[in-house]
Structure 1
Amino acid sequence: MKIQENVYTIGNLEAEQSILGAILLDKTCIEHIETLTGNDFSKEYHKIIFESMTDLNKKNKPIDLITLTSELKSKGLLDDVGGVSYITSLSTIVPTTSSVKHYVDIVKSLSNKRKIVKASYSLIENIRSGKDIDSSRVIFEKDSQIDSKTDNEADSIVEVLAELFDDMQERPEEKIKTGISIIDKCTNGLGKHELITIGAGSGVGKSAIALKIAINAYFANKKVLIFSREMSKKQIAKRILLSQTGISKKQFENREFTNYDWERTYETIKRFSERNMILDDKSSTIQMFKSKMRREKPDLVIVDYTQLVTPSNTKESRERQVAEISRELQQMARDFDTTIIQLSQLAEKGSGNFRPTGESYTRESRAIYHDSHIVIYIHRVTEEKELEKAYKSIPAFHERGSFEDIKATIETRANSGIRFVEINVDKNRDGEPGSNFYWFKGSDLDYYSII
């Protein structure tokens, strides 16, 4: 292919020959060019020679005309590199071994250029062949990435500990506080690179808790991106507006506003005037999410909810589809240096409304639980045994009356839109789990402590 031939002409023959010749004249040269790999050479026969030299060095054997010829012959590659005559000529080309690092810089620089050019051609071919732009761009970014480390270089523990030591002397990471006491107590806030799952049944408040966290993050000067597959962006904005102004749903629908309501509305719009909360109800696939995240560079991403995201492979089983989506979200949190919250419906467990815990409650795939750094379940407490347990553990309930009195209070409040729920931090990879009971008022998007 002509394009590929043009790519391979990006190289410096003399610099490559000088590196190989320097190693033949002085084996110790190979110890000082550890950033170089065989793939950095533009000529395949130079790559073969260099890798054979590396193999000899690993075996603690000398690198000279005899040993290198023997090594290549044993691999059946001697003729491929031009035979003994070409290897002999290498040692006569190099002007001085002291300049080997200069030659390495030349070869490495041209290698990086070839890498970018090859990736660019691949990007063009992928788009021509019908692949979507976002997935093609992801491949391009991966293939063209220039790393200061070699392909086979790894970090030793002492290097990683040294990085940690440097981190310890800097300011601590500014985590995202949720505004919900039990979550902030257990997690100390939500950190970068973390995938957090919030699971609940329908109408229990998983979208509400996500919006509350989003609002808290926004007012903490974080950029928030909300992907909603359940509500339109207008519905999300309406819930936020009503929660911030105190305007009731009935008032809004009937357009019955007081002067105070208008004042609060104007004030709320002013408070949200910064372009730091982005609502997206159109993106439906992981690739579309990535594209939007690449443009917006958010600190916090909310996906409402995982089971409504369109899978990339519709022929796979539903369990594998959801698992793939969850794994992609986990990787995206790391790749985009952000925090991702995925909302998830809970699996039905027969009759009753029992407290969810463990991996089996994540609907359609247990991978959701395993992929997450933190799993938070929101549970509406209605079962008799659970109510008794809650009554015994909450001092404020004791002060207000008997168990039957509290049951009546819970029922009365439920009729007015205030539900008795438990928020359970069921999994916390870097901290302790924990739970607490709250009054949940959907119109306020808030969870109130029981006092």
Structure 2
Amino acid sequence: MDTVPMPPPEPDFPRERMRGQNLPHNVGAEQSVLGCAMMKLEPLAAMLANLGKEDFFEARHQLIFEAIASLNENQKPCDILTVTNQLVANGMIGRVGGRDYVASLPGFVPFVDNYPVYIDLVRDLSVKRRMILSLDGVIDLCFSSDHEAEELIELAAQRIMNIREEGDSQGLTSLGDVLSSRINELAAIARGERPKPVRMSFPGLDRVLGGLRKGALYILASRPGVGKSAL
């Protein structure tokens, strides 16, 4: 059986259109995130913890993000002046629209304390773009008679799983928050407020998954012929 070829890699700077439609993005949200990051420390930390360069649709915003991240990594302040100087030093000030554009970013911010909303919006649209770009190659393979549907379903599921794992790895969660959440969950189960997980006949999987939970989605993915159906 032929090996299913992987869809082409995503471009560094996303294409503006795909199959005749604009890729989802929000320029105002990107401007607001960058503007907030140059105004206060809290949105700066949140942006760097939850977003990466690739989450910004516009190439100039990716470059500005890189400049801010570089300044922060070197423990330097991030404001209009320092970010502009960093872009000048990198030879990128012309590519972002000049000094005036960098200076204008804080002016696009409707309300600086709403920065979590702006970050979430940028992240959400970034995930949608990655889904479109990642699954585009799978769609092309669906028109070919060389591959079985099961293979393509597994390929699509793996692509979606990869995107989810990338999203789960974004951001920082304190150990205290994780332990507190887990303790509260176990206490709720002990009080009978939540249904107990369903145990399987595979102790190893039970230890890893903690049993099967109602309403949860479990995806079993691997190469063809390794025993998924039997499991």
Shift of 1:165: 3.8
1:57: how far off?
2.3
**Is residue 2:23 matched to residue 1:5?**
no
Distance in 1, matches of 2:66 and 2:158, equals 25
1:96 aligns with 2:111: yes
Aligned residue pairs, count: 193
* Other-structure match for 2:155: 139
- Counterpart of 1:143, as a letter, is R
Instruction: Identify unmatched segments of 5+ residues in structure 1.
Output: 178-188, 196-284, 294-300, 302-451
Distance 1:16 1:61 in 2: 22
TM-score, normalised by the number of residues in structure 1 = 0.36
Distance 1:175 1:161 in 2: 23
What is the CA RMSD across the aligned residues, in angstroms? 3.7
Change in Cα spacing, 1:291 to 1:43, as seen in structure 2 (3 Å) is farther
Give the C-alpha shift of residue 11 in structure 1. Answer: 0.6
Task: Tell me the residue number matched to 1:61.
Answer: 76
Structure 2: distance between partners of 1:56 and 1:99: 23
Distance 1:63 1:163 in 2: 34
Hey, which of these two has a bigger chunk of strand by percent?
A: 1
Superposed displacement of residue 4, structure 1 = 4.2
C-alpha separation in 2, matches of 1:150 and 1:39: 16
- Separation of aligned partners in 1, 2:116 and 2:54: 17
In 2, Cα distance between equivalents of 1:98 and 1:19: 11
Q: Is the 8 A contact 2:51 2:170 kept in 1?
A: no
Larger Rg: 1
Contact 2:200 2:206 (C-alpha < 8 Å) held by counterparts = no
Distance 2:164 2:200 in 1: 32
Cα distance in 2 for residues equivalent to 1:126 and 1:109:
27
Could you tell me which of 19, 26, 30 is aligned with 1:16? Answer: 30
State the TM-score, normalized to the length of structure 2: 0.64
Provide the secondary structure at the position in 1 that maps to 2:154. Answer: helix
Aligned-residue offset at 1:152: 4.6
- TM-superposed CA distance for 1:122, in Å, is 2.2
Partner of residue 86 from structure 1, selected from 101, 114, 117: 101
Q: Which residue does the alignment assign to 1:282?
A: none
Query: Match of 2:25, SS?
Result: coil
Match of 1:287 among 201, 224, 229: 224
Q: Is the 8 A contact 1:36 1:150 kept in 2?
A: no
Question: What whole-Å deviation, never above 9, does each CA across 1:422-442 have from its counterpart, x for those lacking one?
Answer: xxxxxxxxxxxxxxxxxxxxx
Task: Answer yes or no: is the 8 Å Cα contact 2:84–2:93 preserved in 1.
Answer: yes
Distance 1:48 1:291 in 2: 44
2:56 aligns with one of 30, 41, 58:
41
Give CA deviations for 1:224-255 in whole Å, capped at 9, x if unaligned. Answer: xxxxxxxxxxxxxxxxxxxxxxxxxxxxxxxx
CA distance in 2, matches of 1:25, 1:154: 21
* Structure 2 unmatched ranges of 5 or more: 1-10, 191-195, 209-221
- The alpha carbon displacement at 1:100 in A equals 2.2
The 1:68/1:35 distance shift into structure 2, 3 A limit, reads same
Contact 1:115–1:143 (CA<8 Å) still a contact in 2? Answer: no
> Offset of 1:83 from its aligned partner?
2.5
Aligned residue for 1:60, secondary structure, equals coil
Asked if the contact 1:37–1:151 (Cα under 8 Å) also holds between the matched residues in 2, the reply is: no
Q: Which has the higher contact order (CA 8 A, sep 6+)?
A: 2
- 1:163 shift after superposition: 5.8
CA drift of 1:63 comes to 1.0
Q: 1:113 aligns with which of 128, 139, 144?
A: 128
